[in-house]
Structure 1
Amino acid sequence: MPPFLNWTLHLAAPIAVAWFFFRSQWKRAALIMVAANLVALDRVFFAAAETPTNCAINAYPLHTMLPISLYGAMMFLPWLPVRLLGIGLVLHMLVDALGCGL
C-alpha cells in the first residue's frame, strides 16, 4: 500500500468511526482514536527485519499478537477514553494488516 494511502486511512478510519458511532462527542472521540496512531513509534525504536511487503504486523513489539489482543480487550472496558483508545489501536492494526495484503 502506498504510504500516502496508508496514512490517509490511519486518519480517516478513526474520524469516520467517531462520526458514526460517537456523534455527540465525535471530536473528542476522534482525537483519542487518532492519538492511538502513536503506537507506530515502535518502528523508530526497534529495527525489524526487512520483508518484501514491509508488513508491520508481527515485525514490531507493539504490533504483535499479545498486544493486539490486549487492544481488543480494551474496547470492552467501561471507561470511555480507554475504550476509544482500544478502538483506535485496533483500527491502526487493521490498517497495518491491509498493508500486509490481508
Structure 2
Amino acid sequence: MSTRAMLHLLLHAAVPALLAGLFWRGRFLQAWAWMLAGWLIDLDHLLADPVYAPDRCSIGFHPLHTTPAIVVYGALTVPSRTRLLGIGLLVHIALDALDCWWMHHA
C-alpha cells in the first residue's frame, strides 16, 4: 500500500477524532463513532470493478460520492439527531477530494 493510501486511511480516522475532541469532548467516543460511520459510504466501492483502484478518484465515480449524495450529506447536518453523521460524511468526502487532488498534483 502506498504512503498516500496509508495517510488517506489514517486521516479518515484522525480528522473525526480531532473534531470530536475539539467540539464534543464530553461525548468524544459517541461523536467519533458517528463521524466514523461516514465510512459506510465506501460500500459503493463494492459496485466497481476493480473494487479498489489506487489511481481512481472516488468523487464523481462512485454513486455515494456524487453531487446529489453530497447535498444529502449536507442536509443531514441540519437536524441535531443526524448532525454528527452528516459531518462525518462531509469530512469523508472532503478527505476523498483531497486524495484526488494529491493523485493529480503530487
TM-score range, shorter chain: 0.7 to 0.9
Question: Paired residue for 2:87?
Answer: 87
Normalising by structure 1, we get a TM-score of: 0.87
Q: Output one character per residue of 1:48-81: Cα deviation in whole Å (capped at 9) or x when no partner.
A: 8xx99411000000000001011011111132xx
Equivalent pairs: percent with the same residue? 38
Maintained 8 Å contact 2:35/2:85 = yes
Structure 1 residue runs of 5 or longer lacking an equivalent are none
Separation (CA, whole Å) in 1 of partners of 2:79 and 2:101: 30
Maintained 8 Å contact 2:5/2:54 = no
Structure 2 residue runs of 5 or longer lacking an equivalent are none
Q: Output one character per residue of 1:76-102: Cα deviation in whole Å (capped at 9) or x when no partner.
A: 1132xx110000000000000001117
Match of 1:37 among 36, 39, 42: 39
Question: Paired residue for 2:65?
Answer: 63
Separation (CA, whole Å) in 1 of partners of 2:96 and 2:88: 12
1:41 deviates by 1.1
Amino acid in structure 1 at the alignment position of 2:62? Y
Match of 1:5 among 7, 23, 37: 7
Question: Paired residue for 2:101?
Answer: 101
Match of 2:22 among 20, 23, 35: 20
The answer to whether 1:72 aligns with 2:74 is: yes
- Root-mean-square deviation (CA), in Å? 1.9
Using the TM superposition, name which of 65-74 and 39-48 deviates more.
39-48
Separation (CA, whole Å) in 2 of partners of 1:52 and 1:26: 32
Separation (CA, whole Å) in 2 of partners of 1:31 and 1:52: 26
Corresponding residue pairs, total: 98
Normalising by structure 2, we get a TM-score of: 0.84
